[in-house]
Amino acid sequence: MSRAGYLALGDQLATSAEPLIRNLVRLAPIRILLNLFGRLGLRGRGLVIFLPYAWLALFFLIPFVIVLKISFADQLIARPPYSALWELSEKGYLTIKLNLNNYRFLIDDALYWKAYLNSVKIAFVSALICLIVGYPMAYGMARADKAWRNILLMLVILPFWTSFLLRVYAWIGLLNNNGIINNALLGLGLIDQPIVMMKTDFAVYVGIVYSYLPFMILPLFTALEKMDVTLLEAAADLGCKPLKAFFTITIPLSMPGIIAGFSLVFIPALGEFVIPDLLGGTDTLMIGHVLWNEFFSNRAWPVASAVAIAMLLLVLVILYLQSRFQRAAEAP
């Protein structure tokens, strides 16, 4: 469809949606909210800017403050009500009470820092495998004909249309001792007995790479598609071999996409719970599973909150380093 066709289609959608928008505005709750925002001086651009910040405050900042408060509570008190973080004396003096025993407990108990280190290792290796597998795919998509690019992008995004849990369960049927892979290898005579793949770190890596590979491919594809191909032609004219041109031109120019894709895979894989729980064994120790056990099995909410805050601080450090590398890669 041409650009004029898209514009005409947009006008038709806007015209057909106008009665619906008018009816919504006439609803009492929405009218009350609009009047409230108007009295607060939030109109037009100010209202558009306010709504995302209000959403973040309601669903991120407030829960974060609650979890932070619980992390400073007494470890022996498993459930609310918890002691206050400050007290105001009769003379008006404010006393702040910060109980750091939960954070000291994370350092003293080897279970927690080993879980953090193992989570970092699994997330890093998974992101590296995604980069190795996803870069050729993104490169091929970026160099394909424009008529095929949308189809290839659709094939990359297509797994998201299926439930995440269902896709993880599918790997159980593939990796089991009596699963499809072992049955096929036994039928071909390549093995004498089933290969143990379930309940191992290998199954966890397979599940994470399969689930998060699109998050690596899409940023890489965006970076490679924007790259000026004439630079490679100029390098070839000057006698630069294709492999050398790839490492000296293509890789540096796609570095923003590499950093973005690596972060998009590494950060969610760091706190992954479903994949290690379903595909991993008892030796697969990740912080997401430890956090779940502290909250729901041990009912140790203060310790669990301290684990969550420590993991959040680790993610913030990673995001800071990612932004530094991103700015350095995009600098002229």
What is the radius of gyration, based on Cα positions, of the chain? 26
Residue 284 backbone phi and psi in degrees, to 5: -80, 90
> pLDDT tens digits, residue range 206-246?
999 999 999 999 999 999 988 888 888 888 888 888 889 88
Would 70 be classed as within a structural domain?
A: no
The region that residue 93 occupies, defined by phi over 0 for left and psi between -120 and 50 for alpha, beta otherwise, is beta
Average pLDDT of the chain to the nearest whole number: 81
Map 241-260 to HEC letters: CHHHHHHHHHHHHCHHHHHH
Domain membership of residue 128 as a residue range: 105-330
Looking at the 3D structure of the chain, how many domains does it have?
1
Residue 257 near residue 224 (C-beta atoms within 8 A): yes
Percentage of the residues of the chain whose pLDDT score is greater than 70 = 78
> What is the rounded CA–CA span in Å between residue 216 and residue 127?
8
Question: Looking at residue 22, what is its pLDDT?
Answer: 52
**Is 318 within 8 Å of 266 (Cβ atoms)?**
yes
DSSP 103: H
CB atoms within 10 A of CB 297: 9
Residue 60 within a domain:
no
* pTM of model > 0.75: yes
Is there a domain that residue 164 lies in? Answer: yes
Instruction: Give per-residue pLDDT as tens, 158-176.
Output: 888 888 888 998 999 899 8
Q: Is residue 280 part of a domain?
A: yes
Q: Where are the beta strands (DSSP E) in the chain?
A: 86-88, 94-96
CATH of the domain at 201: 1.10.3720.10
Evaluate whether residue 148 is within a structural domain: yes
pLDDT tens-place string over residues 205-214: 999 999 999 9
**Tokens 């919504």 belong to residue:** 24
Judge whether residue 274 has pLDDT over 50.
yes
Residues paired with 88 in a beta bridge? 94
Residue 126 in any domain: the answer is: yes
